[in-house]
Amino acid sequence: MSFNQPPPLVDYNLYDADAPLREALEREGAAWAQDMVHDLGRLAGTQEAIDWGFQANAHPPELRTHDRFGNRIDEVEFHPAWHRLMEVAIGHGLHALPWREPRPGAHAARAAAFYIWSQVEGGHGCPVSMTYAAVPALRRQPELAAHWEPIVTTLDYDPGLREAATKRGALFGMAMTERQGGSDVRTNTTRAVPVGTGGEHLLTGQKWFCSAPMCDAFLVLAQAPGGLTCFLLPRVLPDGTRNRFHIERLKDKLGNRSNASAEIELDSAWAVMVGEEGRGVRTIIEMVNHTRLDCVIGSASLMRQAVAQATHHTAHRSAFGKLLSEQPLMVNVLADLAVESEATTVLMMRLAGAFDKASDTEEAHFRRLALAVAKYWTCKRAIAVVAEALECHGGNGYVEESILPRLYREAPLNSIWEGSGNVNALDVLRAMTREPESVAAFVVEVERGQGLDVRLDRALADLKRELANPSDAETRARRVVERMAVALQGSLLVRYGDPAVADAFCASRLGGDWGHSMGTLPPAVKFTAIVERHRPATN
């Protein structure tokens, strides 16, 4: 055993080690899923699963455009570890739990499970998330949903390009972004020409960022005669032949390297319309809403894994005669990170709970605004948290084997896809203008914490003033969204969080008794209690 080198963080249960998650699972009505999440937490802490995560990233997917005889195949080959990760994710229903078991708390249960399992590896969450998210959009076209839903909601991971009806399970992706624009999808140039009856079209054009191209089918936006429309495009046609979906190349990405993201060419590819012609954005937004929830969950998961690693490392490493976790300045950094992580976990579970209560009008209004606010803020915070947690490890954190470099490269992604930061902030403004009820529902939720902490009360009063001010709305959008996010997190924490965490959050994020980097909490904070709550107990 090397002197003063911490033991690896392994053989622990990620669920048992996560008090904020356990509390939230119960609060959001998903206690029935405890055994499943617990099982996943145990598996996620094993050396075997951790190795899968490293292997899937050390051996990224490879494109095979042609077979040995020169025929186009447009396939991507993955390392076996990728398939193991996918098997576990699909086997635990992370792609379909609420559609398989539409009971109260199902989205919350799935959120908790997705958050736990993503800590092992983030990249494979992409097709898992897109498959989960495709179902509500598919339901806009009931006969398509009747055909596809039974196949995409099984617990079988059945990779390979074959006709979907012959498979034990199928996955979905989405292709919206084009070379000339991803945020402004209305500029899409892919053409859809109607053929036959029943909404069949042939699609021609290019998509610039199409992830997980080995999925069985894609929801694609294209210009039909009646305007931008959503289509279902299978990779294999009903007669068993390949659709004309050609993979030009795979992106060489900053992170998310286990996952393939492709540039694709659609050459009169067969597709069938989903939802109304000319209402493509409205149809696919059902999918985007669910993948946005997963961006929040993904960010929470990155933060949690980073905090788990940092609190573990510093509890076993000494400098200047003391454990790092006993050095007052390090404790301040760790507590600050833990506060951010807990605030995010609590918010993520509250949001997932709102998805469960979608039939309640108030909850639906709350979700409309809170989702965009949370997507903006938690994705931004993940970047700062992971970077600072990496530094807690010193040089060891800069080395691949520590997992921190992988978390660091993954962190900016959630803020880019499904609406980059600015676009998300502008979406908050859009919701406020078009659905003013969502503002009222948001404020009511924050007010539920009123009277419990004076700093929250003041932040709420400030927020109301900000919301009432219509001037320079676009210029102020990020400022307003930030304030909304921390007010909501503060309200959730004073009601449901650990009291020491809630106090530290209100003092720093709401009361302004804070600096510009992590580790600047005021001295009255209960540092040790906070850090110990977040440190995974290992044997």
Ligand X SMILES: Cc1cc2nc3c(=O)[nH]c(=O)nc-3n(C[C@H](O)[C@H](O)[C@H](O)COP(=O)(O)OP(=O)(O)OC[C@H]3O[C@@H](n4cnc5c(N)ncnc54)[C@H](O)[C@@H]3O)c2cc1C
Binding residues (CB under 6 A) for ligand X: these are 173-177, 181-183, 209-211, 253, 256, 261, 413, 416-417, 420-423, 426
If the CB atoms of residues 239 and 252 are measured against ligand X, the closer one turns out to be 252
If the CB atoms of residues 192 and 210 are measured against ligand X, the closer one turns out to be 210
If the CB atoms of residues 103 and 253 are measured against ligand X, the closer one turns out to be 253
- Where would I find the H helices in 196-278? none
If the CB atoms of residues 100 and 253 are measured against ligand X, the closer one turns out to be 253
Angle of helix 125-138 relative to helix 106-118, nearest 10 degrees, comes to 160
422 φ, ψ to 5°?
-60, -40
Minimal distance, residue 494 CB to ligand X, in Å? 32
Matching residue, tokens 């510009």: 516
* 92, 156 contact by CB (below 8 A): no
Helix (H) or strand (E) holding 206: strand 200-211
Residues contacting residue 177 through CB under 8 Å, at least 6 positions apart = 185, 207, 208, 209, 210
Matching residue, tokens 């529902």: 441
Minimal distance, residue 261 CB to ligand X, in Å? 5
Q: Of 80, 76, 77, 75, which Cα lies nearest the Cα of 56?
A: 80
If the CB atoms of residues 261 and 299 are measured against ligand X, the closer one turns out to be 261
Minimal distance, residue 93 CB to ligand X, in Å? 22
Residue whose Cβ sits closest to ligand X: 182
Minimal distance, residue 53 CB to ligand X, in Å? 17
Minimal distance, residue 222 CB to ligand X, in Å? 12
If the CB atoms of residues 173 and 511 are measured against ligand X, the closer one turns out to be 173
Minimal distance, residue 210 CB to ligand X, in Å? 5
Helix (H) or strand (E) holding 220: strand 217-224
* 158, 204 contact by CB (below 8 A): no
Minimal distance, residue 445 CB to ligand X, in Å? 26
Minimal distance, residue 15 CB to ligand X, in Å? 28
Kindly write down the DSSP assignment for every residue of 482-509, as one continuous string: HHHHHHHHHHHHHHHS-HHHHHHHIIII
- How far apart (Å, rounded) are the C-alpha atoms in residues 221 and 229? 6
7 φ, ψ to 5°?
-70, 155
Strand 172-175, strand 217-224: pairing: parallel
Minimal distance, residue 178 CB to ligand X, in Å? 8
If the CB atoms of residues 332 and 414 are measured against ligand X, the closer one turns out to be 414
If the CB atoms of residues 45 and 173 are measured against ligand X, the closer one turns out to be 173
- How far apart (Å, rounded) are the C-alpha atoms in residues 411 and 517? 17
If the CB atoms of residues 228 and 324 are measured against ligand X, the closer one turns out to be 228
